[in-house]
Chains A and B, each alone.
Chain A
Amino acid sequence: MSGAVVWFILLTMPLWISHVGGYTDLGTRVLVIGLAAMATNLLVGHSGVMAFGHAAYFGLSAYGTGLLIKYLVPSTPLGFLVGILVGTAGGAIIGYLLAKLRGIYFALATIAFGQVFYFIAFRWNSVTGGDNGLTFQRQPIHLGFTDINLGSSTTYYYLALAVFAVCAFAMAVLLKSPFGHTLLAMRENERRARFLSIPVNRHLWIAYTISCLFVAVAGSLYGMLNNFVSPHNLHWTQSGDFVLMAVIGGMRSFWGPLLGAAIFVVLQDYLSSLTDNWMFFIGMIFVLVVLFIPRGIVGLMQRKTS
């Protein structure tokens, strides 16, 4: 999938999405969740480590944003920054503990650590609202000369798109940089990378933190999109969704996770309106994707053209 096509689709989305049965907020959700899936894929696809707890930083950031806007300062930009900061800090701390682990031990630890914040959000009723979640209201952005009113779905979509563009650009630059190449080297052959005197543990820690930074950006945007955050955003099921999206689209491609997110989010939206047993079908999607298209849709297309 080439970049120009992606940008064209994203830029024009609010113009046509309602004509194909969607709505603008659904488009924003695809965008934001897609960003989270791409960030997860920095680790899963590009660095070859199984990060199964990224919902933690996603939700942590959303809670950071929501709590600040609701209780301290009613400011969207500040809430956004604080959310990112909180989510990234969480990622850096847990990443430090994880960086020495490898393989399925790493995967297990990411899963388990991912649940810490879930329990905190769930239990700390007086602050987080517990199981009922936290409702807040995103505020207009004051620029001095003019205000950006984020009340309309379309305006918020384009704000999210602008943030998405910056993040996507940063991720692309990162992957092309020497650091990005060392991540690929570690994925392909860690021992050899070690012999080339690459400090693999520290690189893994940095990569984990960067990945959490982008997930945190997505989490904050997601919280403000819904004006709501609940412990479900922190739950391990959400982490698994991010990884599956990367797999559906294609882990080895840059845009694959976004494509996967679009398919997954739209399907989930559609299925949950159609049947009460949507979880069964979501589960079957996991099973079928793993068994039949492990290299994702981008992988399928590549095989056809080659």
Chain B
Amino acid sequence: MTQLVLFNIFNGLVIGAFYALMALGLSLIINLTNVINFAHGGFLALGAYFAYTLEPYLGFWGALIISPFFAALVGIIVERVLIRPLYSRDPLYSLLLTFGLAFVIQDSIRYIWGAQGLPMKVPAALQSSLSSTLFFLTGYRVFMVVLVAVTVAILFIILKKTRLGMRIRAGTLDLEMVSALGVDVRILRNLNFGLGIFFAGLAGVLAAGMLGLTPTIGDGLIMPSFVAVIVGGLGSLIGTLFGGILIGVATGIVTVFFPSASEATIYVMMALVLLVRPHGLFGEEGGTKL
């Protein structure tokens, strides 16, 4: 029993790491530009399929590093061409646009790579189990959690220490002021969008290694990521990170006792959080952007 519980908690941690990666990307984009990126799941799938295509040439490690950059590049182009004209309008429009974009990306993937599931080759070193009693600790899963932790740490260092990061944080608080101080906010928004998509792409490669590839690979991950953003509170990246891991682990624990309710759990949690703290766990009361 303890082993089962441990297994599911660890599993929840792995899932939570996915949610957190996705949700951080979403959160970055929402905080700076008020764009709810529905196509995030599509970008995740793009990252995964890029890795699938690059893997024969670069190996798993090369693909893991390069394909998120390709996904980010697509994101940067999309932002420049389609989303930039919408910033001055009601957020409803960017929401609808990324909504349609999600369909376009998914169907394009189906057209290019086919609707059938594809396997992703993972190095043998990562596939073996690390311990015979704790059989679920496969190298890949542990590696995943560690990689996510490192990436998130790097993100926070970028945001704290680099000029770009400081501008992103400042822009989150008051984009107009940042613009008045002579920063080109168009480039800032563009790079920030790319950064968000990078995270989606990375999540995609990791998901592909664990689940294999299908055009709808992002569908199951996008909604919990939205929930993670809400639970954590808008405007707080720490909150988003916490929210992602929290709902992942909670899902894991509920799965032990009541497997068919695992998805419903996260919505019950969201409802409870909103009842008690309408702005989310880490959102500032009244301070969140309208």
Contact = CB atoms under 8 A, between A and B. Distances in A.
A240 B97 contact: no
Interface in B104-158: 104-108, 110-111
B87 interface: no
B92 A44 contact: yes
B139 to A, nearest CB: 32
Given A277-B107, A287-B82, A294-B89, A104 B230 contact: no
A286 B103 contact: yes
B176 interface: no
B100 to A, nearest CB: 2
A97 B30 CA distance: 21
A294 B264 contact: no
Contact of B100 (A44, A103, A283, A294): A283
Interface string A4-18: 000000000000000
Interface in B44-85: 82, 85
Interface residue tally on B, bucketed by range: 35 or more
B270 A284 contact: no
A292 to B, nearest CB: 10
- How would you classify the secondary structure of chain A's contact residues: helix, strand, loop or mixed? helix
A286 B97 CA distance: 6
Nearest to A290: B97
A192 interface: no
Given A101-B278, A236-B223, A280-B108, A107 B101 contact: no
Interface of B is mostly: helix
A235 to B, nearest CB: 10
Interface in A10-42: none
Contacts of B99: 240, 244, 286
B100 A287 contact: yes
A107 B229 CA distance: 12
A113 B270 contact: yes
User: Of B85, B101, B103, B290, which is in contact with the most chain A CB atoms at under 10 Å from its CB?
Assistant: B103
Contacts of A283: 100-105, 107
For A108, A244, A282, the residue with the greatest tally of chain B CB atoms inside 10 Å of its CB is: A108
A111 interface: yes
A50 B270 contact: no
Contacts of B274: 97-98, 100-101, 109
Contacts of B271: 97, 113
B27 to A, nearest CB: 11
Interface in B246-290: 260-261, 263-264, 267, 270-271, 274-275, 278-279, 288-290
Contacts of A123: 260-261, 263-264
Interface string A85-107: 00000000000011011111101
Nearest to A122: B263
Given A103-B289, A280-B107, A112 B95 contact: no
> Top 4 A-B pairs ranked by shortest CB distance?
A286-B100, A283-B103, A283-B104, A280-B107
Given A101-B274, A109-B274, A113-B267, 14 more contacts: A52-B95, A104-B36, A105-B279, A107-B95, A108-B230, A109-B230, A123-B263, A279-B106, A282-B100, A283-B102, A283-B105, A284-B100, A286-B101, A287-B82
